[in-house]
Amino acid sequence: MIASGLYDCVLGSRILGLSEYHTGYRAFSRRLLEQIDLEANSDDFVFDNQMLAQVLWLNYRIARQGP
């Protein structure tokens, strides 16, 4: 999904039948990671939410992939 250029971020679920984005895997394009200000994020449990907020703020595309 990322290699094809369709999405810049893909969220994957580890649990069948549940799309809980906090318990899944993430993949990011290099272009996206070079644009996000990781240092602006917390170093605790809200890091994931802050990073996804930056992804959306910068208008990158997010996809969800489940089992």
State which H helix or E strand residue 30 sits in. helix 30-35
Q: What is the pLDDT of residue 49?
A: 87
Spatial distance between the Cα atoms of 45 and 23, rounded to a whole number of angstroms: 12
pLDDT at 20: 62
Structure-model confidence comparison of residues 25 and 36, the more confident one: 36
Strands 9-12 and 62-65: parallel
Token output for 39: 């240092």
More confident residue, 67 or 11: 11
pLDDT at residue 23 greater than cutoff 80: no
Instruction: Give the pTM.
Output: 0.78
Please give the pLDDT value at position 35.
Answer: 93
Read off the pLDDT band of 26 (50, 70, 90): confident
Give the count of alpha carbons within 13 A of 50, CB side only. 12
